Amino acid sequence: MSAPTPLAGIRVVEFTHMVMGPVVGHILAGLGAEVVRIEPIGGDSTRRLKGSGAGYFPMYNRGKQSICLDLKSAEGVAVARDLVAQADVLVENFRPGALDRLGLDYESCAAANPGLVYCSEKGFLPGPYENRTALDEVAQMMGGLAYMTGPPGRPLRAGASVIDVTGGMFGVIGVLAALEERHRTGRGQKVTASLFETTAYLVGQHMAQFAVTGSPAAPMPARVSAWAIYDVFETKDEPVFIGVVTDALWEKFCRLFALDDLWADETLRENNARVAARDRIIPAIRALVATMTRAEVIARLDGSGLPFAPIGKPEDLFDDPHLQHGGLEDVTLDNGTAVRLPTIPLEMGGARIGAPQQLPTPGRDARGVLAGLGYDEDRIADLIESGAVGESA
């Protein structure tokens, strides 16, 4: 069964770097849109990041075409404007004003293409902070997520670019809503998503907790859980998370692990009573689980309806038996290396999103993109020779 392509026919031009903006284009491409990624001559510097940034480009730029433009030249900017004039969607995540100086601001683009949906991914929505430079980590620190993640007094960034990625997802939601509204009005609009407000939305449950209870939410490592058993337990070898989140699951848990004494205590039959007695319950369960291997614990829990999880590492997911059923797609990196990376986590019409992808080398699609704009071979050759357009070696 072929992958769904609900956005087939939608043309996207992407002026992005790093993670947040590329996420928008990656999701739109995964849904079938034609995405042309504008890179500087020589390619986006994100391609060359090391350390924790080494995976940014291959993860979030699959399924796109690449053209390299010198946006400091009049010819390069003219090509960019022609691309925007024929696009349905523009995506950008540069600092405020960066595209404005090139005449690629929303108002100018909309004047040439009234149906354009212009998606800006920024650090902040309008307000006192809107001109500040923001990164995923900045937003996590400002927005309370780092405070909630680390132990008290030790703010800790979440272990993935969750704000960049979620902010990109909100951008996609805005783009899809704007395209739907265009069906009725014939006009596009500007859509803006942001890192800081995305963080506030994610910690909104803790804000609401304070509003409801009058007590500040404690950082997750120090929280008072809503359930008595909702924790990581050490086994003989590898740890495992176990959650007991209903009274019916408490009974099942006690029977699975032969906790006859705890089940016989009728004062523990209700969740809130178990939370109050957590200091008595947890040591007994920790001692029991510690006598078993992780495989033995999982064997008892699997199929029981009880929430549980082995503590996985990112590198473990390449061989995860569940992800082998459509959760990973074949990707050829621009150096020819074949890998498998997570696909968009959606199923539509009974089919998974995703298909084999080849990561584009910088400027790989220049000639085809320019021909699609109606440029003849002589003009294309002149643009490449002048350096306004870069081409893969």
Position 393 scores a pLDDT of 61
Given its phi and psi angles, is residue 222 left (phi above 0), alpha (psi -120 to 50 degrees) or beta?
Answer: alpha
Given its phi and psi angles, is residue 112 left (phi above 0), alpha (psi -120 to 50 degrees) or beta?
Answer: alpha
C-alpha–C-alpha distance, residues 12 and 191, integer Å: 14
Quickly state the pLDDT bin for 392 (edges 50, 70, 90).
confident
C-alpha–C-alpha distance, residues 53 and 47, integer Å: 9
- Predicted confidence (pLDDT) per residue in 292-321, tens digit: 999 999 999 999 999 999 999 999 999 999
What integer is the mean pLDDT of 276-290?
96
pTM for the model stands at 0.95
What is the secondary structure of 68-137 as a DSSP string?
EE-TTSHHHHHHHHHHHHT-SEEEE-SSTTTTGGGT-SHHHHHHH-TT-EEEEEES--SSTTTTS---HH
More confident of the two residues 334 and 286: 286
Position 1 scores a pLDDT of 65
Chain-centre distance for alpha carbon 317: 17
Position 2 scores a pLDDT of 85
- Predicted confidence (pLDDT) per residue in 351-360, tens digit: 999 889 999 9
Integer CA distances (angstroms), 81 to 102, 104, 111, 227, 249, in order: 9, 7, 11, 56, 60
Position 354 scores a pLDDT of 87
C-alpha–C-alpha distance, residues 67 and 161, integer Å: 26
C-alpha–C-alpha distance, residues 8 and 260, integer Å: 59
Q: Give the contacts of 153 (CB within 8 A, at least 6 positions apart).
A: none
List of domains in the chain? 11-202+326-390 (3.40.50.10540), 225-314 (3.30.1540.10)
Share of the chain above pLDDT 70, in %: 99
Here the tokens at position 219 are 């950082």
C-alpha–C-alpha distance, residues 198 and 12, integer Å: 23
**For residue 87, is pLDDT > 80?**
yes
Alpha helices in 229-309 (DSSP H): 247-256, 260-264, 271-276, 278-289, 294-301
Lateral strand order in the sheet of 357-358? 338-342, 328-332, 357-358
Task: Work out the mean pLDDT of the chain and round it to a whole number.
Answer: 96
Question: 232-260: b or e for each residue (b if 16 or more CB lie within 10 Å)?
Answer: ebebeeeebebbbbeeebbeebbeebebe
Position 262 scores a pLDDT of 96
Which residue in 318, 355, 269, 326 sits closest to 30, CA to CA? Answer: 355
- Predicted confidence (pLDDT) per residue in 191-221, tens digit: 999 999 999 999 999 999 999 999 999 999 9
**For residue 383, is pLDDT > 70?**
yes
Share of the chain above pLDDT 90, in %: 96
**For residue 285, is pLDDT > 80?**
yes
Which residue in 109, 79, 78 sits closest to 92, CA to CA? Answer: 109
